[in-house]
Amino acid sequence: MNHIMLRAEFPGAEEEHLKEINTWLNQRNWVRVTTPDEKINIWHGTFNRQMREEDCHNNAINAFIEASKRYCQVQLDILWAAHKPASQTLTLIG
């Protein structure tokens, strides 16, 4: 499997809009790693092993643009990996 972790910022989006964005992404199998009360939005997505890295990036970008386009212009930092970054727990390095 291909994995993408990303940090998403939704500048100018109201709290209710953020809830709608989160719901939209969750319905499309994006998993929010950080809790809703945290200011940093870290997400994880999994893609088919046969997909190229560029296609995974484009799918991720398009999903977050689609989720937020009514409310704001999303800002993303993306990390791609061919293997899941951590098995059972996540380690945040600050």
Q: What are the residue boundaries of the structural domains of the chain, listed by start?
A: 2-81
CA distances to 19, 50, 74 from 7, rounded to whole Å, are 16, 24, 10
| Conformational region of residue 12, where left means phi above 0, alpha means psi within -120 to 50, and beta covers everything else | left
pLDDT digits (tens, 9 = 90+) for 71-93: 999 999 988 666 655 544 554 44
Confidence band, pLDDT 50/70/90 cuts, at residue 1:
confident
| Conformational region of residue 29, where left means phi above 0, alpha means psi within -120 to 50, and beta covers everything else | left
Structure letter (DSSP) for residue 75: E
Domain 2-81 falls in which CATH fold?
A: Alpha-Beta Plaits (3.30.70)
For 82, the token pair is 């061919």
**pLDDT score, position 94:** 41
**pLDDT score, position 88:** 47
pLDDT digits (tens, 9 = 90+) for 50-79: 888 889 899 999 999 999 999 999 999 988
pLDDT digits (tens, 9 = 90+) for 13-38: 999 999 999 999 999 999 999 887 78
Q: How far apart are CA 86 and CA 57, in angstroms?
A: 20
